[in-house]
Amino acid sequence: MTAPSANCQVCNLYTSGHTDQAAVIEAVRHRRLLLAAMAESADVVTEIRNEIGDCLRCALSLARSYLVINAGMTVAVFGGDRELAIAGTQQALLDYLDEQERPQA
C-alpha cells in the first residue's frame, strides 16, 4: 500500500478513521472522472488532478478503478465470456506488437 499524502483530504479522512466519508468522496471523484472522460471535459480532469495533487495513493486508486472498468467492458464486448475476452485481448496485443517497427540493430 502506498503511504498517504499528508496534504490529501481523502487520505487524512482514511487515517483519522472516517473511512465512510473518504470512500464517498473517492467514489464521487471516480464517477466525475469517468463522466469527464466520456464528455471529453478537460477542465474537469484538470480539476480532479488538482484535487489529487501529489497523492500517489489517490492517483493509483483512480488508475485501479479504471482498469477494472476497462476489463469489465472488454468482457462485455466478448459476450460476457471472460476466457474469450482474455484470448482476444492477448491476440490484439500480439497483433499490435507485430505492427510496430523494430529498432535497427
Is 3 within a domain? no
Is 81 within a domain? yes
Total count of domains within the chain: 1
Is 4 within a domain? no
DSSP, residue by residue, 42-72: HHHHHHHHHHHTT-HHHHHHHHHHHHHHHHH
d(CA 55, CA 9): 10
Residue 102 Rama label (left phi>0; alpha psi -120 to 50; beta): beta
Full residue range of the structural domain in which residue 86 is found = 9-99
Is 47 within a domain? yes
Is 87 within a domain? yes
Q: Which amino acid is at 68?
A: V
Is 63 within a domain? yes
Assign 104 a pLDDT band (cuts: 50, 70, 90). Answer: low
User: Looking at the whole model, is its pTM more than 0.85?
Assistant: no
DSSP secondary structure letter of residue 102: P
Over residues 82-100, the mean pLDDT reads 92
Is 89 within a domain? yes
Is 104 within a domain? no
User: Residue 92 pLDDT more than 80?
Assistant: yes
Cβ-count burial of 101 within 10 angstroms (0-12 exposed, 13-18 middle, 19+ buried)? exposed
Q: How far is CA 102 from CA 59, 94, 96, 99, in A?
A: 33, 14, 12, 9
| 26-64 per-position pLDDT tens digit | 989 988 888 888 888 889 889 988 989 889 999 998 888
